[in-house]
Amino acid sequence: MFSWYRVIGPAERRTFWSCLGGWSLDALDVQLFSLAIPALIATFGLSRTDAGLIGAVTLVSAAVGGWIGGVLADRAGRVQALQVTILWFAIFTFLAAFAQSFSQLLVLKALQGLGFGAEWAAGAVLMAEAIRPEHRGKALGAVQGGWALGWGTALLLSTAAFSALSPDAAWRVLFACGLAPALLVLVIRRNVPEPNRPREAPGAAAGPLAIFSPAMRRVTLAGTLMGLGAHGGFHALFTWLPTYLNTERGASVLESGLYLGIIIAAFGLGCLVAGELVDRLGRRRTVALYAAACMALVMLYLLVPVNGTALLLLGAPLGFCTAGIPASLAALFSELYPSGLRGTGMGFCYNAGRLASALLPLTVGLLSEVCGLGPAIGLSALTAYGLVLLAVALLPDGTPPLRTGMIR
């Protein structure tokens, strides 16, 4: 599975590890919020709708940040954009630890989201251009697997903090740990080269709105729809899953940690396998396969009454399959646009989908008041993964934009 790593060059390896570290630490900061939701509800007297609003606002700002980050990567350079965005989200995650009210936390999470969205756009386009084409899908899938590393680290920190400290102190300590990614900037500054690009990159003078030109319009709209489904399914599930296990299933902190640990480990494996599949089966088939599997597993996990043992067993395939779509998107999106529009196009498709999906955590919170948390999560996730299948049908492999936008 990692044979590709042995044949890539030193510069490619340094880029790979820097982007993997950035995405892992990005995940650490973001997932700390979902794990802290019960404590935040208790500290600030929030309703589930309030908690969902924080998640939604963070995703909205991440969508805006993603487009900004993509434009910045096209204008200022991939490496410089990556450094700025990592610093941004690390600083505002740290400051969120000192929030004294719901409104303060909302503003700080919104500012954190700007950097979170921008970091993916800068890192993904950097990886896409630094890694040779025959190994691009595998390398990008492995980087996406870094989300599981950050998520797992967040789970370990959360379990330790909430076991040793009061809930109010625990979530603040966790958010303060979010400053750690800032150290990665020093490594990136010293070791990661800027990818070689043509002096006059196609599309460079056209401006960020060129992704809506007649030649690019269908690609951009279909990519946005795919981003919506991918983000919507993930966030509908995993923003609320710790709360679901705790409140609906009566799981203790340690039991919830076991359930989530299995899901996270399987998620990391799913990213690696998806990276192999996108290079072997193609982008379209891989995404469709994972989307269909996600729909089946969501119904089993959340909409069919199962006991604790079944939840434990279903956690592994659920985590594995939910990884496949996000792990495939960077490889797919990077080959849709010419070099001068690559960061802008990737940042927009990935994050415009995130913008629309921001309504889903809030929707889950509202629906849960009517039909219960499990059905609310399940119905929202099923809708999202259905949109992924629709997007695949609208953007088949081999369309003219796909061929002309291949990375040179």
* R_g of the chain, CA atoms, integer Å: 20
- Which of 51, 241, 243, 29 lies closest to 115 in space, CA to CA? 29
User: What's the pLDDT score for residue 308?
Assistant: 63
> Is residue 29 domain-resident?
yes
> Is residue 199 domain-resident?
no
User: What's the pLDDT score for residue 95?
Assistant: 92
- Average pLDDT taken over every residue of the chain: 79
> Is residue 201 domain-resident?
no
d(C-alpha 225, C-alpha 238), whole Å: 20
Burial of 300 (0-12, 13-18, 19+ CB in 10 A): middle
Domain around 214: 8-191+208-404
Higher pLDDT, 288 or 135: 288
- Name the region of 173 (left: φ>0; alpha: ψ -120 to 50; beta: rest): alpha
Lowest mean pLDDT among 107-121, 169-183, 187-201, 334-348: 187-201
Convert the pLDDT of each residue in 49-78 to its tens digit. Answer: 787 788 778 878 887 888 788 888 877 788
> Is residue 203 domain-resident?
no
> Is residue 307 domain-resident?
yes
Convert the pLDDT of each residue in 80-105 to its tens digit. Answer: 888 888 888 888 888 999 999 988 99
Convert the pLDDT of each residue in 220-279 to its tens digit. Answer: 888 888 888 888 888 778 777 777 777 776 666 666 677 778 888 888 888 888 888 888
Query: Residue 387 in contact with residue 360, Cβ under 8 Å?
Result: no
Any idea what the CATH number is for the domain that residue 244 is in? 1.20.1250.20
CA atoms within 13 A on the CB side of 248: 22
> Is residue 200 domain-resident?
no
Rounded to two decimals, the pTM is 0.69
Q: In the chain, how many domains are there?
A: 1
